Chain A
Amino acid sequence: MAQSYSFSSLRKKQWRRSPQWETKLIVRILVILFAIYMLACFLMIGAGGYFILEKRLPDQPPIQWVNQYLFYYLGLEWLVRFLMQQLPITHIQQFILLPISKRSIVKNVMRRSLLSAFNSSLLVLFLPFAIVLALKENHILATACWWLGVSFLVLTIGNLNFLVNKGRWFYPTILFFLLAVLFEQIGLFSVAKLLGKGMQYLYENPLALIIPALIFLGSYLLTFRFLKRNFYLDTALEKRKEKRWGGELKSLDRFGLLGAVLKNDIRLIFRNIRVRQVLTGALMFLLYGLIFFPQTMYEKSAMEVFAALFTTGGFLMMFSQNVPAWDSSYFKLLQVQRLSMFEYLLSKWMLLVFSILIATILTLPYLYFGQRVYAAIVAGSIFNAGLGTIIGLISGALNHTPVKLEVRAKAFENTQNFNLTQLLFVLPKLALPMLIFWLPYHYLGYTEGLIALSVVGLLGLLFTRPLLKYCALLYEQKKHEMIQGFDKNE
């Protein structure tokens, strides 16, 4: 108990003493507000779910329907966790050599993961449903056991996420879900039905609770063993050496100073895991349009433009928010060289514009959904290139948290570049273009909205030089703060 107390006090200090903790506090508050909103939604679905199902599907008991779709819910939950959940296993290395037993560290990590917000669905979604169910059908013991069974399964998914994120379980898990969906489609075998029947059996025979309990226990032990074993893997001794990447990029030498910086930036992107993750992320963003463009209900809607902005702006958003921070490990070097902030930013700007250009070409297949869709994409990319880049670079100037470029995808280090906190910073960046589109769209029409977006983007491109000069001024003003921030290790 004493040990677990000292752990949480260390965590508190780490958080309170980290650079820019005030900004982080504000973000944390926004996250909490968002969480409260989500909580309310879940509570309503959970408590009201029984009545809705009863009304909509009068021939089927609500519990049966829930059991039937539980498998899909679990699959979805895993996906969301995989993308969003930050596992509480970072910043552990410093404890490894201290006389705190590994068992207690791993136990602490796993206990903290139990308290994760992602497990709250049990309390806010399934518990209200179970309570209504118990009251309506009067099987209190059965319902309690059923709820516990669901809980064990959800917690198992949580454990699985450790193994998927940090171990070698990623492909097996994906394969399992794909095969399950495939077998379901061709009618060979249905995992969902099996689980549904199992849960129905559990509801009728509370003793069967032992099966999900054993599954959970197994996954717990497996994860525990995995985490304990991985304490060794990440020591400095086993530092992985990366293969050299890339050609000489000689063609850039012609551009003098700018060429040298650009060359460096290209190497930055391809030689560091952390930045390469941004690149893969940007490729995923290209597919974002698939969610909206095929559906007629979004035709000529603001949502369509929103999707278009995202589709080509993935790299822009993820790269620009860390603009001086990518160079944090050698920022001082750049500051004593005869390299003006303008040239530094121009190089980054060119990379961003280039990424948007590539994305616009790669999204040509969206023409399949009609010229209107692609017109939205082009308008979006013109805006992104003209003004989005500048906004991105300005937002980057406020980020003084150093970036570790070679954070490896192994246990005990935070490797996720995609989380809720960063997502929130994206919101103001999207609100402005949406406003520019929406005003003429609302009063004049869809095409006028796209034109407005393009015109603003073109104006941005026309005034790139003065805009970048302004950014350079901002960066110069913030220079000493940046150096100070980058000096601190998180």
Chain B
Amino acid sequence: MIQFSNLVKKYKGIQVLEVENLTVTAGSCFGLVGNNGAGKTTLFSVLLDLVQPTEGYVVNKEIRVNQSEDWKTHTTAFIDESFLIGYLTPEEYFEFIGQVRQSPKTEWQKVLETLQPFFNGTVLGQNKYIRDMSKGNQKKVGLAAAFFGNPELIVLDEPFANLDPSSQIQLKKFIALQKQKGITFLISSHDLSHVTEICERIVLLEKGKPIKDIETSPSTLKELESYFAA
């Protein structure tokens, strides 16, 4: 599904990312962990062509992301609040994303319906602009919209941060459900237990380099914890 090849990103001569060869297979959940500054968000930004790599390239479903925009059809993402339009209400935002992703109204409304337990009554019908909502509720809006328009690849940066405990559990359930449909997930998180729970494969980044590549097993959480404790 995704192929990172000889990727190097430097900011003013300082190398922040170096990924020689990393492949993500379709239909799996790929987890990315690492301390602050490890390069998780930069890796996602390069994948989404928001940042140009200094060297190397990314292939998303046979498309080089900086050469064609066709990958946008099957890819969605929620990275941070810059993926939200503050002066819209959640309903208007959903409509906008639905229209831009050319998803019929009935289709994206079905997605919202299945997400009702996740919203927990705090998102829809509040008659509030997104900018006036709490950080947690803003996040719910952005995450929900990432499931619009039948994506094949969903990129989520820190999806669990700022969410209340019930929403975290609901989100995990929902991701598990979507995985069954064959959607590929790319998720970064500081919460080791969440990633080990939902991802089949976890890559540990340190100073921009992947230093561990783990198939998730019952011992993975312990292994990761002992790494970060050291």
B99 lies within 8 A of A260 (CB): yes
Query: In the docked arrangement, what's the CA distance between A338 and B101, Å?
Result: 7
> A336 touching B76 by the CB < 8 A rule?
yes
Are B51 and A239 in contact, with the CB atoms below 8 A? Answer: no
Alpha-carbon distance A310/B96, docked complex (angstroms): 35
Say yes or no: is A184 at the interface (Cβ < 8 Å to chain B).
no
Say which residue of A241, A256, A335, A405 sits within 8 Å of B50 (CB atoms).
A335
Q: Could you tell me the distance between the alpha carbons of A257 and B96 in the complex, rounded to whole angstroms?
A: 9
**How far is A78 from B107 in the complex, measured between Cα atoms in Å?**
58
Contacts of A257 in B (CB 8 A): 99-100, 102
B82 neighbours in A (Cβ, 8 Å): 329-333, 486-487
A483 at the interface (CB under 8 A from B): yes
B77 at interface (Cβ–Cβ under 8 A)? yes
Q: Is A9 interfacial (CB 8 A cutoff)?
A: no
Contacts of A260 in B (CB 8 A): 95-96, 99-100
CA A484 – CA B9 in complex, angstroms?
Answer: 14
Cβ-defined contact, B50 with A271, below 8 A: no
Identify which of residues 4-25 in chain A touch chain B, using a CB-to-CB cut-off of 8 Å: none
Q: Which one of A244, A329, A330 contacts B127 once the chains associate, using CB atoms below 8 Å?
A: A244
Contact, CB under 8 Å: A332 / B99 = no
Interface string of B65-98 (1 = CB under 8 A from A): 0000100110111010011111111001001110
B168 at the interface (CB under 8 A from A): no
Given known contacts A244-B129, A331-B82, A333-B83, is B100 in contact with A339 (CB within 8 Å)? yes
Find the B residue at minimum CB distance from A476: B69
Q: Are B76 and A242 in contact (CB under 8 A)?
A: no
Which secondary structure dominates where chain B touches chain A? loop
A residues in contact with B127, CB < 8 Å: 244
Q: Is B143 an interface residue when CB atoms closer than 8 A count as contact?
A: no
B87: chain A residues within 8 A (beta carbon): 267-268, 271-272, 405-406
Q: A333-B84, A336-B75, A480-B51 are in contact. Are A271 and B102 (CB under 8 A)?
A: no
Do B100 and A336 have beta carbons less than 8 Å apart? Answer: no
Which chain B residue shows the least CB distance to A487? B82
Q: Looking across the interface, which residue of chain B has its beta carbon closest to that of A275?
A: B87
Say whether A337 faces chain B, with CB atoms less than 8 Å apart: yes
**A332-B83, A405-B87 as given contacts; A267 in contact with B51, CB under 8 Å:** no
A242–B84 alpha-carbon span in the complex (Å)? 18
Q: By the criterion CB–CB under 8 Å, are B92 and A336 in contact?
A: no
Q: Are A338 and B100 in contact (CB under 8 A)?
A: yes
Assign chain A's interface to a size class. Answer: 20 to 34
Please tell me if the beta carbons of B50 and A244 are within 8 angstroms of each other in the complex. no
Kindly identify which residue among B51, B52, B89 contacts A244, using a CB–CB cutoff of 8 Å.
B89
Asked if A264 is an interface residue, CB under 8 A from chain B, the answer is yes
Give the CA-CA distance A453 to B83 in the complex, in Å.
42
Nearest-Cβ distance from residue A347 to partner chain B, whole angstroms = 12
Contact with B along A236-256 (1 / 0, CB 8 A): 000101101000000001001
Residues from chain A with a CB closer than 8 A to the CB of B96 are 260, 263-264
Question: Nearest chain B CB to A482's CB is how many angstroms away?
Answer: 10
Pairs of residues from A and B, 7 with the lowest C-beta to C-beta distance, nearest first? A260-B99, A271-B87, A333-B83, A338-B72, A332-B82, A337-B100, A330-B85
- List the interface of chain A (C-beta within 8 A of B): 239, 241-242, 244, 253, 256-257, 259-261, 263-264, 267-268, 271-272, 329-333, 335-340, 405-406, 480, 483-484, 486-487
Q: A259-B99, A260-B99, A339-B100 known; 16 other A-B pairs, CB under 8 Å?
A: A244-B89, A244-B127, A257-B99, A257-B100, A263-B96, A264-B88, A271-B129, A272-B87, A330-B83, A331-B82, A333-B83, A335-B48, A338-B101, A406-B86, A406-B87, A483-B50
Of the A-B pairs whose beta carbons lie under 8 Å apart in the complex, a sample of 29, sorted by A's number, is A241-B132, A242-B132, A244-B129, A257-B100, A260-B95, A264-B88, A267-B87, A267-B88, A268-B87, A272-B87, A329-B82, A329-B85, A329-B86, A330-B82, A330-B85, A332-B48, A332-B82, A332-B83, A333-B85, A335-B49, A336-B72, A336-B75, A337-B100, A338-B73, A338-B102, A339-B100, A406-B86, A406-B87, A480-B50
